[in-house]
Structure 1
Amino acid sequence: MNSSAADRLRRLRLLLTVLFTAINATGLIVFAWIAIASDESGPRSLDGDLRRVTSSANRLLQFDDTNRTFVTGYIGNDELADQCPQFAVLPGGSSTFAPYFSKRTCVPVDPAVLGGLVDDAVRSGRLVTGNIHGTGGQLVRVGVEPFRNPFGQYAGAAVAVADADAAQAAHTRFVVFVVGGCAVLVAGLAVAGHLLSTRAMRPAVAALEQQEILLAETAHDLRTPVAALRALAETALRNPDQRTELLPRTVGLAARMGSIIDGLLVRARLAAGMDQLAVQPVWLDQLVTGLVDETPADGASVTVTAAPSLVQVDPTLVQRAIGNLLDNALRYGRKQDEPAIVHITVANGRVTVADHGPGVDAAIAEELLDRFRTGSGSTGLGLSIVRWVAQAHGGALNVYNADEGGAIFELELPVLPQGN
């Protein structure tokens, strides 16, 4: 299905919103990844505590020159042995001395696992940090600091351990915060992008919609006079003796078509804010009577009951609106296989057009006044134009069903006191 230019602009607006959101979302994702990857506040704090413990434990070591080995018995006299993080001093490599484990068990850990970490630190000669699992399955942070004997050889290491679950939970909360914040920002950017693109394209969309409406209204309003003009021309061709009689009617229809086009141009300029309504005092009863006299009835019965009614309106637009009401009544205000019966009443700034057709379904009464909808189910603009003209003058268009059958359309216009 072909879409209008306004519809394509709306799709472009959606595309711009998606691109705007995607570009900013990409930047936020990169930022979130860097922030999460660099979040080492928990492990860094634990490593500082572990390094403090291992360094203190190593300083408490004593070397027995006689037995050429380390003595760990003095470590238990320090208050460090009763605190957390817990620690152990273990031999590594080929060295042998009595291992020491601190008095307080803060996190249960397999000694064999600690011994393996000490061997790794002794072989590498570097401080070793990392995560292991305790015997209860909890996450444990480990710091292993090797030490040398008096001969410059690495003989063992002090290993300290601490519960890392709290730090891991803090990191998880940080991740949730960053991801959730990014999601909220992406949603906000999507809304902002949509609003910005909508605001930027609103004038263009409105202009295109106005152009489409103008074209549709032109086709709608010119359809009837063009058909009548063609009929007159074909009659004149077939009957040359009637040309003198048909010529004035042809000129009148051409003038009506010109008036319709002028009215459409005025409508477009008014909608664009380029012009103001050309309001002036108008005798509404005379305008309606003249319009009925100029409209071919085609066998229909059209009666007018009019009282003097002076209104302040744009005569071109009001004539067009009433013409649409009359045309609607002649087209759809009839029973099957019967001529239309239309009665028009003019009084106190109101023009009431009543017909004897099937009436208006209350469920779609409001839809009838929208663009591209008529009582017959076909598309059109007649009634929507009437409502626009009424609203432009500060009036209204009302739709009723008569008790005895048929539809009633009432056009209300501002009355000008006749004494003025």
Structure 2
Amino acid sequence: MNTSAVARLQRLRWLLTLLFTVMNAIGLVAFAWLVLREDTSQSEQRMDGELRRVTSTVTRLIQFDGTLRTGLVDGDPLNRQCPQFAVLPGSGKEFEGYLSAKACVTVDPAVLGGLVGQSARSGSLINGYIRGQNGEWLRAGVEPFLADSGQYIGAVVAITDAGPEQSRHDRLVWMVVGGCLLLVLVVAVSGYLLAGRALRPAAAALEQQEVLLAETAHDLRTPVAALRALAETALRNPAERTELLPRTVRLAARMGSIIDGLLVRARLAAGVEQLDRQPIQLDQLVGAVVQETPKAEARVTLTTAPTTVLADPNLVQRAIGNLLDNAIRYGRIPGSEAIVHITVAGGRVTVADHGPGIDAAKAEENFDRFSSSGGSSGLGLSIVRWVAQAHGGTLTVYNAREGGAIFELSLPVVDA
């Protein structure tokens, strides 16, 4: 596969992963922010509700007719519980302030006085955070009350420790942040896998393109070299041009056939075309291929039994031609003619030669770039395997005991 194309696909995969992760991370951050904000609001509502319960009760129990009367407050259980409270004048010294019996937190009186004055002047409830004298966060609730004259002269302020709620909220923050980080990691891994799956067809297409180009170069190398040799011979020996012309035409026709076959394979692999499956007489097709194949310096024997297979006749003819051509070219001992035996029976085509054989240990592993001991690059044989696999068949290769390579092409048989 082209290195630059692979690098671009890999960069695209990382880019898609990044976009997928960032988009989901933004959504998670927004969701986490909403969850934490809602938890903060509910936490404040819980504290304010408790403070409101104290201030509203105390304002009903106190009276002011020139003198602050707190007798009912003294006997109420709220006076000895948390949250603590205080009854303070809004401004001036209309009355002495009153503090609840139980002190739960320590607060600067000046801070409380400021809150009470603000509430008394505005005549409204006030809730907010203040700092305790030890630096801790406290929640205060202030409710003003009226004198008999109908004027706001003071307020009841209740105070509670916000630490427990803050600790609970902090734990939730860590849980949400940790959960978001974990989800972002899961999303990133999932995005990487999904991007790889989405780009897999493109990677496969690039790989098929490289294989197709390599097979084209392999199949055309020999006829192109022969065509060039014929042309150079004709240029040097004008008297032989008439004899060389038919051979040139045959080579050109062979090159055209090779190109057509490769284009068909490329179109089938791309899904542009479908296999033209039909019942064919395999023995007759192989016999026709043997008869049409030039067999100079080769002796080919054919043994057949009637057998019908379901296949694309053009592709099967190409595959048989490749096997026979490979056996004739490379299945011979140097200096002697090629001897090839072909057997057709039961949906199988067996092509055996008397050459140097093959490296059986590496045959299956490197079949797409096959190397024989006779020096063949053997890349054209990958087309044979592809034809077999496209039809649901197999291509097997092994050595004969007496020497030579054996190729066995198996295709689905039509039931009688």
Give your verdict on TM over 0.5: yes
Which one is further off, 143-152 or 253-262?
143-152
Structure 1 residue 123 displacement after superposition: 4.4
Which one is further off, 113-122 or 309-318?
309-318
Taking the TM superposition and a 5 Å limit, the aligned residue runs for 1:247-258 are 247-258=245-256
| Residues 4, 156 of structure 1: alpha-carbon distance in 2 compared, 3 angstrom cutoff | closer
Whole-Å separation in 2 of the counterparts to 1:7 and 1:75: 80
Whole-Å separation in 2 of the counterparts to 1:48 and 1:142: 11
Structure 1 residue 228 displacement after superposition: 1.5
When normalised by structure 2's length, the TM-score is 0.73
CA contact (8 A) 1:36 1:175 kept: no
Q: Which amino acid aligns with 2:118?
A: S
Equivalence for 1:352: 351
Q: Which amino acid aligns with 2:119?
A: G
Equivalence for 1:33: 33
Q: Which amino acid aligns with 1:42?
A: S
Superposed CA offset, 1:321-380 (max 9, x none): 234345556777789x88897744323132234565473353x5444234xx33379988
Q: What secondary structure is seen at the aligned counterpart in 1 of 2:273? A: coil
Superposed CA offset, 1:110-153 (max 9, x none): 2xx25243123134336242165697x98653334455777857
Aligned with residue 393 of structure 1, among 378, 391, 394: 391
Superposed CA offset, 1:85-125 (max 9, x none): 3434457876473642245x6xx422xx2524312313433
Equivalence for 2:179: 180
Whole-Å separation in 2 of the counterparts to 1:26 and 1:54: 43
Superposed CA offset, 1:150-175 (max 9, x none): 78575564323155514641574377
| Residues 208, 286 of structure 1: alpha-carbon distance in 2 compared, 3 angstrom cutoff | same
CA contact (8 A) 1:128 1:144 kept: yes
| Residues 166, 365 of structure 1: alpha-carbon distance in 2 compared, 3 angstrom cutoff | farther
Structure 1 residue 288 displacement after superposition: 5.3
**Structure 2 unaligned residues grouped into runs of 5+:** 121-125
Equivalence for 1:129: 128
Counting aligned pairs with the same residue, the percent is 49
Aligned with residue 230 of structure 2, among 229, 232, 244: 232
Structure 1 residue 79 displacement after superposition: 3.0
Whole-Å separation in 2 of the counterparts to 1:59 and 1:97: 18
How many residues end up aligned between the 2 structures?
399
CA contact (8 A) 2:350 2:406 kept: no
Taking the TM superposition and a 5 Å limit, the aligned residue runs for 1:50-199 are 50-63=51-64, 65=66, 70-89=68-87, 95=93, 97=96, 99-103=98-102, 108-110=104-106, 113-125=107-119, 127-130=126-129, 132=131, 140-145=138-143, 157-162=156-161, 164-166=163-165, 168-169=167-168, 172-173=171-172, 176-177=175-176, 180=179, 184=183, 191=190
Whole-Å separation in 2 of the counterparts to 1:76 and 1:354: 116
CA contact (8 A) 1:374 1:380 kept: yes
Structure 1 residue 249 displacement after superposition: 2.2
Structure 1 residue 238 displacement after superposition: 2.6
Q: What secondary structure is seen at the aligned counterpart in 1 of 2:221? A: helix
Whole-Å separation in 2 of the counterparts to 1:353 and 1:98: 115
Whole-Å separation in 1 of the counterparts to 2:73 and 2:339: 115
Whole-Å separation in 2 of the counterparts to 1:277 and 1:182: 54
Structure 1 residue 386 displacement after superposition: 1.0
Whole-Å separation in 1 of the counterparts to 2:2 and 2:331: 34
**Structure 1 unaligned residues grouped into runs of 5+:** none
Structure 1 residue 389 displacement after superposition: 1.0
| Residues 338, 294 of structure 1: alpha-carbon distance in 2 compared, 3 angstrom cutoff | closer
Equivalence for 2:123: none
Whole-Å separation in 2 of the counterparts to 1:109 and 1:401: 95
| Residues 315, 74 of structure 1: alpha-carbon distance in 2 compared, 3 angstrom cutoff | closer
Structure 1 residue 47 displacement after superposition: 0.7
Whole-Å separation in 1 of the counterparts to 2:96 and 2:377: 101
| Residues 227, 320 of structure 1: alpha-carbon distance in 2 compared, 3 angstrom cutoff | farther
Equivalence for 1:43: 44
Whole-Å separation in 2 of the counterparts to 1:150 and 1:383: 110
Whole-Å separation in 2 of the counterparts to 1:169 and 1:407: 78
Structure 1 residue 253 displacement after superposition: 1.6
Which one is further off, 390-399 or 276-285?
276-285
Taking the TM superposition and a 5 Å limit, the aligned residue runs for 1:325-344 are 325=323, 343-344=340-341
Which one is further off, 387-396 or 273-282?
273-282
When normalised by structure 1's length, the TM-score is 0.72
Aligned with residue 371 of structure 2, among 342, 366, 375: 375
Whole-Å separation in 1 of the counterparts to 2:225 and 2:414: 37
Structure 1 residue 11 displacement after superposition: 5.1
Q: Which amino acid aligns with 2:168?
A: A
| Residues 275, 2 of structure 1: alpha-carbon distance in 2 compared, 3 angstrom cutoff | closer
